Structures are given as C-alpha cells and as structure tokens.
Amino acid sequence: MGDRFRLRAALRGLGVRWRLRGRLPARHALVVANHVSWLDTVVLLAAGVPRLVAKSEVRHWPLIGRISAQQGGVFLDRSRPRALPVAVREVRDILAGGGVVAVFAEGTTSCGEGAGGFRPAFFQAAIDAPAPVVPVTLRFQAGGVPTTRAAFVGAETLLVSLRRVLATRGLVIRVAVGTAIHAGPAASRRTIARIASVAAGCQPAAPLAPVLALPALPPPAQTPASAGLEQAA
C-alpha cells in the first residue's frame, strides 16, 4: 500500500471525509494553502501533493512525519531565524527542478478565519525558480456547517486535538484548488503573497484605489439673462 493510500485510510479511521474541487498540479508549482489543523498536512499529502514545508516538530509525528520525510519534505526550525532563507532556497531548487511543494503560508494555524494573510518569504522561491503559484483553500465542516472543532491552535497538544477530532461527527475537509498565479521575474513577493492570500480566502480583497479629485472648474460665465433667472429662483 502506497503512502497516499495509508493517509487516506488514516483519514477514514478518524472519521474524516474530504472533498477535492479542482486539480492539484502534478509538477513545477508552489502550492500555498491556509492553515487550520494538523489534518491539513494529512489531506494535502493524501490528495497527491508530494512535498510540504512543515515545522521541524512534524518530523517526529506518527505517520505524518515519516511520510513527509520520505517524500523529501522541507522541515523548518522556527526557533532559528537563519533557517528560513535556507528553507526558501531549498524550495526554490525543488521548483526549479520541476517539483511541487506545498507551504502553509500564513506561518501558523488559525481557527479558519485567517491569521492575517500569507507571509511573503516562500513566494520568493516561486519568483526565482520561476514557477507558478497555486492557491488552495481548506475549509472544515461538521454536519454540513462550518466548524472550528479541528483547529489546532495555541498550546494545545496533538493528543488533545486528536481526541476532539475523533469526537466530531460528520467532519469533512473541503479542498478547493484555485487558478495558478504566474509571477514574472520583476514581481514583488509581497504582491504575489497578497494576491494568493485573497484567492485562498485568507484576507479580504484590497479596496479599490481612491478616485483622485479633479480640480474644480470655474463656474460658467453668466449672461445677463441667466443672472436674472438665478436671482428669480
């Protein structure tokens, strides 16, 4: 049994169903997704994403860590500031070689309402490779309505979160693949990050640019007849 099927079996064992809308890229793309739960990693690997960027602790998680490591996942030690540029270069090299890497670009989990948008660091890898950016939205439902039961936030342990997931009936993860964003070499990583963040539903679209005020035009010259009409009014 392949790793993908083991992960799908694990989801079934947890009572979690998942639905994929759209097609994940098979090669040469940076997949960027919002981050709600440890289940995000499971469902993306089960759906066919070959590699993910994950915090270094994930390497030691049961099943998920082993499969992520075997598939060439990029593990980031967030306690070391110098580890980030090294990880970005590693992702760039994978993309340049035609590979696919997924990153949870918010940088942390949230309850599903977004954590302030995507952080720009890993978008530089897509610009330098160069490779398209594919936004993915993950949404959790239970009984047909949105739920935060699967959220993995704060100081909560994996075991506590796992127990809550097992106690949640009818949990469904909806995975929606967006339209690829092609960034040119002159693109700004912050701009691409914001576009992808909006596409993945992590932050609202930017308001329209304000309309510049035009200079006031002088009032039309009044003829004696029009002056008389104005006064009469």
158/162 Cα distance (integer angstroms): 6
Write down how long the chain is: 233
- For 14, counting Cβ atoms within 10 Å of its Cβ (0-12 exposed, 13-18 middle, 19+ buried), the class is middle
Residue 224: pLDDT band (50, 70, 90) is: very low
Q: At what angle do helices 3-13 and 39-47 cross, to 10 degrees?
A: 130
Tokens in use for 39? Answer: 């289940």
Average pLDDT in the 65-72 region? 91
Q: What 3-state class would DSSP assign to 176?
A: strand
**Strand (E) or helix (H) holding 75:** strand 74-76
Residue 117: pLDDT band (50, 70, 90) is: confident
Counting Cα atoms < 13 Å in the Cβ hemisphere of 9 gives 7
CA 187 to chain centre: 19
> What pTM was estimated for this model as a whole?
0.82
pLDDT at 217 over 80: no
